[in-house]
Structure 1
Amino acid sequence: MDYPLIGACQCGQVTYELHDKPLMVFACHCTECQKLSTSPFSITAVVDTAKIEFSGQLKSWERVAESGNRNCAMFCPNCGNKICHFNPDAPETVKLKLKPVDLSSADIFEPQAHVWVSEKLDWYHIPDDVKVFPKQPG
């Protein structure tokens, strides 16, 4: 795979360059991610902050997770696409929400685990060979 991988929001105002593969990719089935993605789950790629560069204007929104951790969401103010989120108290990683523009590299965003399956929609079936966690793994 050739790096950097380039990604963008729907309108193209926000872009990123990813300089290395994600540390982890997971599908989250919590009700907050169902709202975010307007689908049964949301895909998140955990990325080393030093390995990604963002360009463009971003807006933010913050909430407190069930764990007590702060969850700061960054999104494009034009098209509304969520770009990433992060915990301000753990700045070494960012949780990327956008896949790359080049679909030939999209396989690096295949989930390695499914989390918050306690809130999973009954009709979605998780593949047998993937790790599952009832809530957020420790």
Structure 2
Amino acid sequence: MALVVVVPKDKLTINGTTKSYAKAGSSGKPVHRIFCPECGSPIAHDPEAAPPIIALKGGTLSEADKKALKPDTEIWTVGKLPFCSEHLAKPFEHMPE
């Protein structure tokens, strides 16, 4: 399970040096995985299948931003582990199109 925050790409600024690599996502189009070049921690996923958005890893957010989050969407519920008890308003078995 991972918390990601989907935001409009044109509203985001990432400070500091990053590296990335691309690999095909479920759409067949590349997903650019952005990470810290020093420690390897993942920062975001930038899918070419959805150019206006970027998905930030929840752990990269400030404490204030984390407290303000109100998750409403689950994706890839087809592989949801049995002990995960969340039932959010917008579940998707796979990546929404």
Count of residue pairs the alignment pairs up:
96
Selected match of 1:55 from 2, 11, 15: 15
Query: CA–CA distance in 1 between the matches of 2:3 and 2:20?
Result: 19
AA at the equivalent of 2:2: S
Distance across 2 between alignment mates of 1:76 and 1:89: 23
2:81 to 98, 114, 121: 121
Ranges in structure 1 where 5+ consecutive residues have no aligned partner:
1-40
CA RMSD of aligned residues (A): 1.9
**1:64 deviation in Å?**
0.7
What amino acid sits opposite 2:31 in the alignment? N
- Identity, % of aligned positions: 27
Deviation at 1:83, TM superposition (A): 0.9
Structure showing greater relative contact order (alpha-carbon pairs closer than 8 Å, 6 or more residues apart):
1
What is the rounded CA distance, in whole Å, between the counterparts of 1:108 and 1:69 in structure 2? 32
TM-score normalised per structure 1:
0.60
CA distance in 2, matches of 1:87, 1:125: 28
Q: TM-score, normalised by structure 2?
A: 0.82
The whole-number CA distance in structure 1 between the counterparts of 2:94 and 2:27 is 10
Matches of residues 1-138 of structure 1 in structure 2 within 5 Å? 41-88=1-48, 90-98=50-58, 99-101=60-62, 103-127=63-87, 129-138=88-97
Gaps of 5+ in 2: none
Name the CA shift for 1:71/1:137 in 2 (closer, same or farther; >3 Å).
same
